[in-house]
Structure formats: structure tokens, C-alpha cells
A and B are shown apart, each in its own frame.
Chain A
Amino acid sequence: MSPVIPNAVTPEPATPKIEFRDVSHSFDLGGETFAALDHVSLDIAEGEFVTVVGPSGCGKSTLMNITAGLLDPQSGEVLVDGQPVRGPSPQRGVIFQQYALFPWMTVRKNVEFGLKIAGVNAEERRRTAERFIDMVGLSDFADALPKTLSGGMKQRCAIARAYAVDPTILLMDEPFGALDALTRVQLQDRLLDTWSRERRTVLFITHDVDEAVYLANRVIVMAARPGRVHRVIDVDLPYPRTEDMRLSPEFAELRREVWHSVYHQPSPIERTSP
């Protein structure tokens, strides 16, 4: 009964870092069930940078919350390193669209939070925090409260906080969605820069087609109602990605392809509810 989805499962030689197996989830809306995710299957290899695009409400955030362990799927499972996900873990760092900084803590205290939970001693905590605050260029604001930071600075602080606990996977839900175009491009380049050095596995959600193509090894295009994987598009552009590349015909072609599959979606599957 499940629809045939071309390219939904890309075969990988090694054990995938993240493996979605037939993940389905629906929400109860006053008696009516709404299928946010319907049989999503997908493998993400170690060190891969995968972006997810799709229309609003197609279940991108739901997918991320399930991967983070903040939400249990109703059926199917998510495996990380071959182990099923049970609850959140600092191994999977999450960066939220709304920054989610603790407003009563300074930048430094925010970055140290995860280390403190991990039981790292004060001195080492401070040193590690310093390093990541420096990495995101917030050294001058280490003792500032979040309310005094701009949106871009807040998001950089959130990124430092996520990196500080040294996750092997980064889950990012429209992290740059609320930022202006210039800041966004700068943060994209910084992110790619650290990624190409450290090769963490990244699952990056966005609604910006340009961003999806610019960052990714692979772009996952989702379709709505029910939320499912519609197409998987490989991005064969080399890293490091540069500003010039954004203007290249190859980039334009890829962007057109992604754009096309986002905006010409298959019609909603009418589900026969029992």
C-alpha cells in the first residue's frame, strides 16, 4: 500500500550514521488524526551534510524532534550507529530556530551548561567554553546576557553551546531562518568551514532552496499530507563551496531541480481512516 518513492533509500556501503526505518507519526487533532510523517525511510552516512526542504507543515520539525529523541514515533524507528534512539542524548546536538538560549545565563554560562551536566570540572569547562565562544566570534560578549545580543549573535551562541558537548551529529531546524541575508550567508560559510574540518554528520532543515543546495551533499525534498520523502537530489559540487559557485550554471541547474520538486508536489494522498 505504501507509495513507490524513487530514490527514497540510497544504498550505503557501511552502517549508516542515521537510519530512518519506516518512520510514521500522526497527531491527534480533536478526534481526527493528521499524518505528519508517513513511512519515511532514509539513510544518512557518517560525515554527510544532508539538507531537508519541503512545504510548511510537511513534517520537517517532526522528523527532527524524532531524531533528537524529543518525540517517539508511532511506528518505525530511528537508528543512530545501529542503535535505536531512546530519548535525547548530548551525542545529537540540536540547534533550534528560536535560538532557545537560557535568558538568565550569560553567553559563557549557556555554552558551559551541557558540560556542567556532563560533570566536567569548572576549569576545563571554562577552557572548552572559551574555545567555542572564540570559534563563533563572541569572545567580546562572553559575559553578556542573551537579551543584549542580535539574532545572529544569539544563533552563534546556540551553535557554540551545541558544539561544546562535542556531538557526533548536528540537527539544525531552520537555524538561520530568522536572520537577514548577509548574516545568513556568513553563518553558512562558517558552518561549512567547521564541518569540512570536523566532519560531523549534519541534518539541516531549511525552507530556503538556495541554502539547501549550497550546503548539502544531498538534498531531501519532502512532500506534505502526509509528510514523506518526495525526492533525494545529490549535489555533486565540490567543497569548499564559494560565492562564485552560487553563480555557476551547475548551481543554477541544481537549484532549479530542487525548486521544481518543492513546488510541483505530488497531490496529497487521501487516507481512508478506519
Chain B
Amino acid sequence: MVRKTARSSPSATTGDTARNRRSTVPLTIGSGLLGLAVWVLLANSGIQGFPGPLEVAERAVASIGDGTLFGDLFASLRRVLTGFVLGIALAVPVGFLMGWYAPVRGLIEPWLQFFRMVPPLAIIPLAIVLMGIGETPKIFVIFLASFLSSVVSTFQGVVSVDSTLINAARVLGAKDRRVFTGVVVPASTPFILVGMRIGLGASWATVVAAELLAAQEGLGYRMQQAQLYYDLPTIFVQLIVIGLVGLLMDRLLLLAERRLTSWQERR
């Protein structure tokens, strides 16, 4: 599902106008309150060990207090960002090369298509066997996840650059290098940014799952530990933090995307 978005036009991702957003604010608040009410109801309905909001909030405060929450968050973020930055750093040049040189595309595309069909998590057992149980396999898997999801959209961006713009640059005297830096790169930034957002989402999902399998710290690891002790409040705290941080990172990139591509005509 992640890949489909990469193929569609990037302008589709940036829609809602200011008016639209304002009118959804009360609904968003209402929806939050409703969710809270459902949660309280569920907690009171007598499901074994199901914690209420208060209990979870207390646990959150406690784990902030003893430093575990931020320690875990920091560990997870470090993995994600390292893997993500490495993935993007490779995906952008590879995507450009594939779009610019047909033979490069021919050589790389079959492998991309193949590995896109293998969920990054399925690589974990192999990565652990080959790279041990340290940070390397986890970062590698995140690197893979972000690379695969953003390389395709970078490549799509380069391929879909309007040839009239390239011709316009050439008749003004631009040679290949200038056409590339002056036209192809800026024209494909919207696609690259969409790829980065998808890549970050994929990285975040992957890190948590990777930590569930093998780690000594991190949000996923903490949940895994809590599961062993039937510690539901901790699991809730971790889930909420994972969701909030993921949301925050996505919004940040969306903001960057809006700023950097405000020149686009939106229909």
C-alpha cells in the first residue's frame, strides 16, 4: 500500500486548505474525547488487567521520571534516523542514475522490484545471522526499508520531468550538467520528498518491529519486556509514544514538503 502512493502525483498528497483545516478542529477534539470515553468504558468493563487512562498516565510519568521512556525513545530514534538517512543518501543518487541512464535502470530495476516484494522484516533473521545481534542488523533493515520505498519515487520523479522544460533549458544554452542540476533536480524534488515521507513511515514501522525481535533497549524492546510480565500500562505508554512520535515526524516532513514545493500548481 505504501508503494501505490509513491506512483501517484505528489501534488495529491498536499490538499486541505486553511478553511478545511479549521472546520475539522472541533471534530478532531470531539473524536479524541470520544476515544477516551470508549477507553474508560473498556477499562471498566472488567477485561483482565485492562488499564484505564489514569493508570497509563501514571505509568508514563513514572517512566519519564526514571529515564527509561526517553532512553528508549532516544535509542529507537537513533536507529531510525541513522538507517533512514543512510537509505535516503543512497536512494536519491541511485534514483537519479536510474532515471537519467537507461542501462542503469535496466540493471537495477529487476532487483528493486524483487526486494520491494520482500518485507524488510523478513530480512531480519538473515541480517542477525550475518551481522550479529548488535545495532548493525537493525540499522541495516531500516536502511533497506527507507531505501526501497524512496528510490522508486525518486526515479519516478526524474522520469516524469516535463521534456519541454528540458528543451527550454537546452535552447537557452544549458548543457547536460546544467540541465540536470537546474531542471531535473528541482523538478523531481516533490517526488523525492514524497518518497522520504513514505520511507520515514516505513523506517518507523520497521524499527519497532525489529526491536520486538532483538534489542536491549528501545520502545519495541520495552513492550516486549512488558509483555513477559503482563504489564499492560507500559505497553499502552509505548504504543501511544510510538504513534505520537510517528505522527510528529510525518507532520514535520509534510511541512518541509509544503515549503519546498510551494511553487507547484495545485489543481
Which A residues are closer than 8 A to B by beta carbons? 68-70, 87-90, 92-94, 96, 98, 100-105, 113-114, 117-118, 145-147, 161, 165
- Residue contact B264 to A103, C-beta cutoff 8 Å: yes
- Residue contact B167 to A102, C-beta cutoff 8 Å: no
Residues of B within 8 Å of A90, CB to CB, are 171-173
Does more than half of chain A's interface fall in helix, strand or loop, or is it mixed? Answer: loop
Knowing A113-B182, A117-B178, A118-B173 are in contact, say whether A100-B263 is a contact too (CB < 8 A). no
Cβ distance B265 to chain A, nearest Cβ, rounded Å = 4
What are the nearest 9 A-B pairs in CB distance?
Answer: A114-B172, A90-B173, A100-B168, A94-B171, A104-B263, A147-B265, A100-B164, A117-B173, A88-B171
Cβ distance A89 to chain B, nearest Cβ, rounded Å = 7
Q: Does B165 contact A (CB under 8 A)?
A: yes
Closest to A117 in B: B173
Closest to A100 in B: B168
Knowing A103-B263, A145-B263, A147-B265 are in contact, say whether A117-B174 is a contact too (CB < 8 A). yes
A to B contact number (C-beta, < 8 Å): 64
- Residue contact A102 to B165, C-beta cutoff 8 Å: yes
Residues of A within 8 Å of B262, CB to CB, are 145
Cβ distance B262 to chain A, nearest Cβ, rounded Å = 8
Which B residues are closer than 8 A to A by beta carbons? 162, 164-165, 167-174, 178, 182-183, 186-187, 189, 262-265
- Residue contact A88 to B263, C-beta cutoff 8 Å: no
- Residue contact B171 to A93, C-beta cutoff 8 Å: yes
Distance A100 CA – B110 CA, assembled complex (angstroms)? 34
Residues of A within 8 Å of B174, CB to CB, are 117
Residues of B within 8 Å of A118, CB to CB, are 173
22 A-B pairs, CB-CB below 8 angstroms?
A: A88-B170, A89-B171, A89-B173, A96-B164, A96-B167, A96-B168, A100-B164, A100-B165, A101-B168, A102-B168, A102-B169, A103-B263, A103-B265, A104-B187, A104-B189, A104-B263, A114-B172, A117-B174, A118-B173, A145-B263, A147-B263, A165-B172
Residues of B within 8 Å of A146, CB to CB, are 263
Knowing A147-B263, A147-B264, A165-B172 are in contact, say whether A94-B182 is a contact too (CB < 8 A). no
Distance A98 CA – B265 CA, assembled complex (angstroms)? 14
Distance A104 CA – B164 CA, assembled complex (angstroms)? 15
Residues of B within 8 Å of A69, CB to CB, are 171
Knowing A102-B186, A103-B263, A103-B264 are in contact, say whether A70-B167 is a contact too (CB < 8 A). yes
Beyond A114-B173, A165-B172, 12 additional contacts (C-beta under 8 Å) are A70-B167, A88-B167, A88-B170, A93-B171, A96-B168, A100-B164, A102-B182, A102-B186, A103-B264, A104-B263, A105-B263, A145-B263
Closest to B261 in A: A104
Cβ distance A141 to chain B, nearest Cβ, rounded Å = 14
Residues of A within 8 Å of B164, CB to CB, are 96, 98, 100
- Residue contact B183 to A102, C-beta cutoff 8 Å: yes
Residues of B within 8 Å of A87, CB to CB, are 170
Q: Which of A89, A93, A117 has the most CB of B within 10 A?
A: A117
